[in-house]
Structure 1
Amino acid sequence: MTAFTRVAETGSFSEAARRLRSSKSVVSRQIAALESELGVRLLHRSTRALTLTEAGRSYFDQLVRILADIDEANLSVSHLQVAPRGRLRVNAAMSFGIRHLAPAIPDFLARCPEVEIDLTLNDRFVDLIDEGYDMAVRIGHLIESSLVARRLAPLRRVVCASPAYLAARGVPTTPDDLIGHECLRYSNIPVGDEWTFTAPDGRARSAEVKGRLRVNNGDALRIAALEGLGLACLPTFIVGEDLRAGTLIPVLEGAAHQSGGVFAVYPHARHLSPKVRAFIDFLVERFGPNPPWDRAET
């Protein structure tokens, strides 16, 4: 089962054998024996590619969860419970992952030399249990779920624009002024056409925004704002450097509603594996209540 999982992940008998510290012929025989035992073909083999059959894909999806449960069971009763070791599957949003998670990983791997990280970056909401992830880094508000969450850092949003845009279109002084502005909207959430602000009475209020550009990625919105296309409402982990450099100017300061955070989430387990615990502790230490992207100097 482990041999098949590695072949499915890598698309290669040779790479699977390398990861398993085995030989290509041994791995090939193991897969053939598994297919014979199951009575079904799991892989399409050709000189050009190695792909999963429909049965193979279904089997792989289930094996990822089963093997993770076996690893967890072994860890809970062995000496490995005290030492981070093994493969850690992590999911994170694209912008945060590229800007902050990826630069942190080399330091973590240096600290934990027996851990191997498999990092997937996308802006799609993934099901950790069904898709076999050990943990995820999520941004914003957490929905009700059976997952355990630990706060890694605060989340601060700012409305900002380039100096050229503000010089040409004026600086909004209240959320109501956004009606006359070109607003760059985030399309990956249901309320991307509404920005939330804090009213004088302390309550959150929404303002409808309009503009000619909608994008499903924060870094793409940042580029549009830098090019003077309009106002953007973005987290400081994306635009912190631009705010310090003055290439983006914050407006409506104090009005943008601050809520949510940067969280590590993981499936509930009675025995949290040392690799997950070590990585989350490392991220809390690295980011914390005053993360690098919110500091006056880095």
Structure 2
Amino acid sequence: MDQLLALRVFVRIAESGAFSRAADTMNIPRPTVTKLVQDLERHLGTKLLHRTTRRVNVTPEGAAYYERATRLIGELDEMDESASHSRALPRGRIRVDVGSVVANMILIPALPGFRARYPDLHVDLGVSDRPVDLIGEGVDCAIRGGPLPDTSLVARRIADMDWVTCASPVYLKARGVPLHPSELMPQPAQDAGKRRVPGHAVAGYFSSLTGRAFPLEFHNAGERILVHGQVEVAVNESTAHLSALLAGVGIGQAFKFMAAPHIENGRLTRLLDDWTRPRQPFHVLYASNRHLSAKIRLFVDWVAEVFAPFDDR
């Protein structure tokens, strides 16, 4: 039995809650994963994992073993990095999760520079706007905007980004230009049996987790207005939301950096500039109980450099 590999497999199963997920993230055949765990339990003479139909849980003995195993693996990784000078020449693969528009407009364009600096360090980039379970899905770090989702994660703040309210000229020609956020509220039918007055449409953005739509938010001189509006088209992904605004489906709020090129070329028009929305904080997140290797530390530092020009603070 390769005891070190068995330790790594056990830790991955304990974190992900599934033999299959551990096999997939470690690129090891599933029967090999099962055999390694069986051999490890036989070697120790105790049960480390308890399987149910829905999930794999650690036993009390497994929980104690997991704590010591993670410390040991972290120390071994650090020893290897130190001996191979990987702090100067990092090697290996990093799995990163990032929101769509940030990936496409900020991170991916900068990746050739990262590869030139660290040619032996490879990046697996998961791109989506859905929340991610860093530990369960084997993700090394994530880049996310908004309130921190989990206090157990370590977070490094990399930027605060401004919002703009905008719409396409095609939309504004058809529906008019609003002068106050209240004009974006749904307009009731004036009399029973009559059709609703069209009013303004909102290009909606809804949560991948809850399915609920996020309101537009406006602040001015201490006044705060939340507008859910009349949503005729809604999406749950940031790049698609930008496409919806450009297509003229309604009025929406987008990060200034993503809307600015389209405002400059006339495909979008800024609206309600007297009203602001609080800046959105962005963080790099990683698990507090995971060894922060030199390669992850280097990647986090590089991400902070890349996001610095987009920081509206």
Conserved in 1, the CA contact under 8 Å of 2:180 and 2:272?
yes
The answer to whether residue 250 in structure 2 is matched with residue 244 in structure 1 is no
Residue 127 (structure 1) aligns with: 133
**Whole-Å Cα distance in 2 between the matches of residues 221 and 74 of structure 1?**
45
**Whole-Å Cα distance in 1 between the matches of residues 94 and 72 of structure 2?**
14
The answer to whether residue 98 in structure 2 is matched with residue 92 in structure 1 is yes
Specify the SS of the correspondent of 1:141.
Answer: coil
The answer to whether residue 236 in structure 2 is matched with residue 231 in structure 1 is no
- Deviation, 1:68, is 7.6
Residue 82 (structure 1) aligns with: 87
Please say which of residues 67-76 and 257-266 is displaced more in the overlay. Answer: 67-76
CA pair 35-129 structure 1, distance change in 2 beyond 3 A: closer
Residue 163 (structure 2) aligns with: 157
**Whole-Å Cα distance in 1 between the matches of residues 233 and 98 of structure 2?**
25
Residue 51 (structure 1) aligns with: none
- Gapped regions of structure 2 (runs ≥ 5): 13-21, 42-51, 58-62, 186-198
CA pair 249-268 structure 1, distance change in 2 beyond 3 A: same
**Whole-Å Cα distance in 2 between the matches of residues 229 and 284 of structure 1?**
35
**Whole-Å Cα distance in 2 between the matches of residues 117 and 67 of structure 1?**
26
The partner residue of 2:310 within 281, 287, 291 is 291
The answer to whether residue 14 in structure 2 is matched with residue 8 in structure 1 is no
Specify the SS of the correspondent of 1:131.
Answer: coil
Specify the SS of the correspondent of 1:212.
Answer: strand
Q: Which has the higher Rg, Structure 1 or Structure 2? A: 2
Q: Deviations over 1:28-85 (max 9, x none)?
A: 9x6796487479xxxxxxxxxxxxxx99x969xx9xx999866532233451573333
Specify the SS of the correspondent of 1:214.
Answer: strand
Residue 176 (structure 1) aligns with: 182
CA pair 71-247 structure 1, distance change in 2 beyond 3 A: farther
Residue 280 (structure 1) aligns with: 300
- Deviation, 1:114, is 2.6
Aligned ranges for residues 207-226 of structure 1 at < 5 Å?
207-226=227-246
Q: CA RMSD in A?
A: 3.7
User: TM-score, normalised on structure 2?
Assistant: 0.69
Residue 279 (structure 2) aligns with: 259
Residue 73 (structure 1) aligns with: 75
User: TM-score, normalised on structure 1?
Assistant: 0.72
- Deviation, 1:158, is 1.4
The partner residue of 1:198 within 214, 219, 228 is 219
The aligned length equals 261
**Whole-Å Cα distance in 2 between the matches of residues 141 and 213 of structure 1?**
26
Conserved in 2, the CA contact under 8 Å of 1:193 and 1:210?
no
CA pair 68-223 structure 1, distance change in 2 beyond 3 A: farther
**Whole-Å Cα distance in 2 between the matches of residues 102 and 206 of structure 1?**
33
Give the counterpart letter for 2:267 in structure 1. Answer: T
Specify the SS of the correspondent of 1:160.
Answer: strand
CA pair 259-238 structure 1, distance change in 2 beyond 3 A: same
Please say which of residues 114-123 and 269-278 is displaced more in the overlay. Answer: 269-278
**Whole-Å Cα distance in 1 between the matches of residues 126 and 162 of structure 2?**
24
CA pair 204-178 structure 1, distance change in 2 beyond 3 A: same
**Whole-Å Cα distance in 2 between the matches of residues 72 and 91 of structure 1?**
22
Conserved in 2, the CA contact under 8 Å of 1:141 and 1:259?
no
The answer to whether residue 151 in structure 2 is matched with residue 145 in structure 1 is yes
Specify the SS of the correspondent of 2:230.
Answer: coil
- Gapped regions of structure 1 (runs ≥ 5): 14-27, 40-53
CA pair 156-69 structure 1, distance change in 2 beyond 3 A: farther
**Whole-Å Cα distance in 2 between the matches of residues 141 and 32 of structure 1?**
39
- Deviation, 1:264, is 0.7
Specify the SS of the correspondent of 1:130.
Answer: coil
Specify the SS of the correspondent of 2:231.
Answer: coil
Give the counterpart letter for 1:73 in structure 2. Answer: E
Specify the SS of the correspondent of 2:74.
Answer: helix
